[in-house]
Structures are given as C-alpha cells and as structure tokens.
Amino acid sequence: MALDPREEALRSLDERARALKARTTRPPSPVGEMTATSQAYRILAELLGGVLLGIALGAVVDWLAHTTPWGVISGVLLGFALSIYMARRTANRLMAQAEAEEAARRAQASNAGEDQE
C-alpha cells in the first residue's frame, strides 16, 4: 500500500528535523553546574574573608595603638565594605559572562533557523 506523497514528504521532513536537532543539541554539562557552585563559594569566601581580614587588621591596630575597641570596629566596617565591593564585582562579571553565552546561543539558534529555510 503506497503512502500519500504528502504524508511521505512530511515523514521525511520530520526525520530530517529530528536529525538536525540531535546534531545541534548539546547535552547539559556537569562542568557548568560545578562552575556555578564554585563561583557561589567564591562569593561567599569573599564576603567572609573581607570581614575576617578587617577584624584581624583592626585587632592588630588596637594592639599596637592601644585604641581598643575602635580598631576592631573600624576594621569590621572597612572589611565589610571591601567584601561587598569584591562580591559585587564578581557577580557583575558572572552576569556579563552569562549574557554573552545567552547571546551566543541565540545567534546560533537564529543561524540554525536560517539554515533550515
């Protein structure tokens, strides 16, 4: 029993579309997930490290200048401000990187759409 030429053409087109999708689709990479997790830990370390460094430097200033507790207080405040600055800088860099990757994906998808036409 012969198939209708239109049905056969549609079946052939579906097979070609599936083959194209299989060639162009990348499997999700576990490396990307690990990178996101490691970046989150890096931001956390920057936040905690800045405050702890400020406490340590403030304690040294208090010990040398006998200004207890003003060195620790100012060290905590300066360390907190520094850690927020560093975390914000890292987050902005990660956002720019994610936007660039998304733009590349969109360009690739639009190029793939043009190739099908």
Q: How far apart are CA 79 and CA 111, in angstroms?
A: 48
Distance between CA atoms of residues 2 and 46, nearest Å: 69
The domain locations on the chain are 39-117
Which residues contact residue 58 at a Cβ distance below 8 angstroms, ignoring those fewer than 6 apart?
Answer: 71, 72, 73, 74, 75, 76, 79
Query: At CB < 8 A and 24+ separation, what contacts does 92-97 make?
Result: 94/39
The predicted model scores a pTM of: 0.61
User: Per-residue pLDDT tens for 43-86?
Assistant: 999 999 999 999 999 999 999 999 999 999 999 999 999 999 99
Q: How far apart are CA 28 and CA 97, in angstroms?
A: 18
